[in-house]
Amino acid sequence: MSLDGWNRVLVLGGIRSGKSEFAESLVADATTVRYVATAAGDEDAEWAARLAAHRARRPAAWSTEETASDPRRLADVIAAARPDETLLVDDLGGWVTVLLDPAHQPADDTVTIDELVTAVRGCAARLVLVSPEVGLSLVPTTPLGRAFTDALGVVNRAVADVCDAVLLVVAGQPCQLKPAAAPGLAAGATTTAVAPAGASTAGAGTTVPAQAGPAVGDGSVSAPTPVVPVAAGGPVIQPGMELPMPDEYAGPQAVERLATLDVPGRGLGVLEQVVSFAATTQGTPTPTPWQSVRVLLLHGDHEGGAAAGTRPGESARRADQARAGQGVLARLADHGGASLQVVEAPTAAPIEHGPALTAEQVESALRYGWRLAEEAADAGVQLLVLAACGAGTEAAAAAVLAATAGAEAPAVLARVVTECGEFDDAAWMTRCAAIRDALHRIRRSGRDAKDVLAQLGGGDIAVATGVLLGATARRIPVLLDGPVGVAAGLVSRDLAGQARHWCLLADHGGHPAVQLAADVLGLTPLAELKLDLGEGANALTVLPLLRSALTLAAALPTRPDRAEGADSGPQQADEAPEVPAEPVEESEPDFREPEPEGPGPTSTEPAPADHSGSRAG
């Protein structure tokens, strides 16, 4: 289980249940973690030993902050956390103990608890809180014991109410309490089934009742099919969605197989990453090239300072050009055998003055993007390419990156280039000022995914987010290469963390926002061509190369030495090997360097460490 899809998580559990270890595993992949310790001093020897064990488990890269001296400071620490930070608070039981300590009385405990809940609700960082669950024990016989359990019960209920996810750890096993397995389902509602790996996508968009548990057929038990809640207007898109993950075993198997292929050199190099990605998303160690590819060109303008330096009507002209089969994107799509669909997105209002979209427009745009992905799946599309041509898209993406990853707008906003190839620094400064004013305007607002889309993202990024989520639900990989695509990737991560694993970054194009977002999402660009032909063009330029790599990986035979070694084993066990009729020296010499044992060097990332169950509760 990971933090992807949630910003605020509450982990409950009894004494020695393993709740702290589980909470630590949730943030293990974070670059840096601020560990907020709430417990009081360690005068008691046994208590000191427990605290020492906790300290010993923390990685050296984590920083520790203690709030025992002032219980009200915990709310300040949480409220001041930045969007690019990860906080682990362990635990609220210790915090309540300090709060009730006579040294901090008299105090208004209710106000202090309310301040904490308000801070958690508005926290911009990734936040994991640990708390003991004492509601299952006997009622304490002492006044102080009853005061503690009553106060902690109030805190747990209030914090759970504002968290995106709540888990209960029992005997080291996490049980998800919030959101429920199929959240948002009213009586009589239906759910859209997600097609399992390898299954046909035809008809996968039909609605079926939510499954109550695993299916039992011929004596074997299969994992339950992930389901997506559906309302009258389409899928219910909300944080914590459970969407399918790619096949984690097929990728390494495909890379191992590449080391056995009959190639004269060291292999595919960086393109091994493509083979691994295709293997995981296709669910087979022998992936095939993508034959049916669809390009979705999103046209949605951003008004106000975000579009400074853009000629009026230019984005509409580009969209019309693509519809007519002309221009860079259309010609590259035609050359690559990809279909091109122009998608009109809602125009975003000036973000420096107010929200870019209304909440209703965000919901509609997300569902529209989801529907586009479903239509592509029903048409047999095997790969989607996200492209964009709206005015002000770069500034909108930079604003989203600043809100979700804590980036500074000037650092991620590319310089404005005029049609004559000259830099327009005045327009660049206007865009930076628009982002600055927008971030100042929402400084006290929530940073949930839909809030970010409504306040900053606009229609094209909202539609792109829906496309990524819908493609993930239908197991379609998506090729990205520009600011709108990666901004949608950041937002979709906070709705369903599985979505980023279905994305492949063709090229960052030298764009600073794309480079930073790729680092946050864990995406490695396949090329560094530094083309500037419009979002989507880099991906289509690289597409033939990707197909060539997959064609070679699927068609090349195994090296003769590997094949002979596999066939000669049984023969050597029964009889002596044959003596060649001619001396070996008369055969054609082999000047190849000896192949290393095992798989050759690859560019794939190592498998993530398994943090589940590695420590006893």
For residue 599, give the DSSP letter.
S
* Distance from C-alpha of 198 to C-alpha of 565, rounded to nearest angstrom: 32
* The residue type at 471: A
* Distance from C-alpha of 287 to C-alpha of 161, rounded to nearest angstrom: 45
- Residue 555 tokens read as 């068609």
* Distance from C-alpha of 193 to C-alpha of 208, rounded to nearest angstrom: 7
* Distance from C-alpha of 374 to C-alpha of 366, rounded to nearest angstrom: 13
Contact 363, 465 (CB under 8 A): no
**Helix H segments across 224-313?**
250-258, 272-282
Among the listed residues 492, 467, 28, 602, the one whose alpha carbon sits nearest the alpha carbon of residue 239: 492
Q: Which is the catalytic residue, given 535, 578, 582, 593?
A: 535
CA angle, 450 then 455 then 457, to 5°: 75
Q: Angle between the 250-258 and 272-282 helix axes, to the nearest 10 degrees?
A: 140
Q: Are strands 207-208 and 191-193 parallel, antiparallel or unpaired?
A: antiparallel
* Distance from C-alpha of 91 to C-alpha of 382, rounded to nearest angstrom: 47
Which residues share a beta bridge with 173?
Answer: 170
Q: Give the three-class secondary structure for 548.
A: helix
Which residues share a beta bridge with 348?
Answer: 302
Contact 406, 348 (CB under 8 A): no
- Please state the φ and ψ torsions of residue 153, each to the nearest 5 degrees: -60, -40
- Please state the φ and ψ torsions of residue 549, each to the nearest 5 degrees: -65, -45
Contact 164, 6 (CB under 8 A): yes
DSSP states along 450-502: HHHIIIIIHHHHHHHHHHHHHHHHTT--EEE-SHHHHHHHHHHHTT-GGGGGG
Element at 437 (helix H, strand E)? helix 425-441
- Residue 228 tokens read as 């997506």
Contact 383, 479 (CB under 8 A): yes
* Distance from C-alpha of 605 to C-alpha of 273, rounded to nearest angstrom: 9
535 a catalytic residue: yes
* Distance from C-alpha of 441 to C-alpha of 258, rounded to nearest angstrom: 53
Q: Tell me the CA end-to-end span of the chain in Å, nearest whole number.
A: 17
Among the listed residues 433, 355, 357, the one whose alpha carbon sits nearest the alpha carbon of residue 398: 433
Task: List residues with catalytic annotation.
Answer: 535
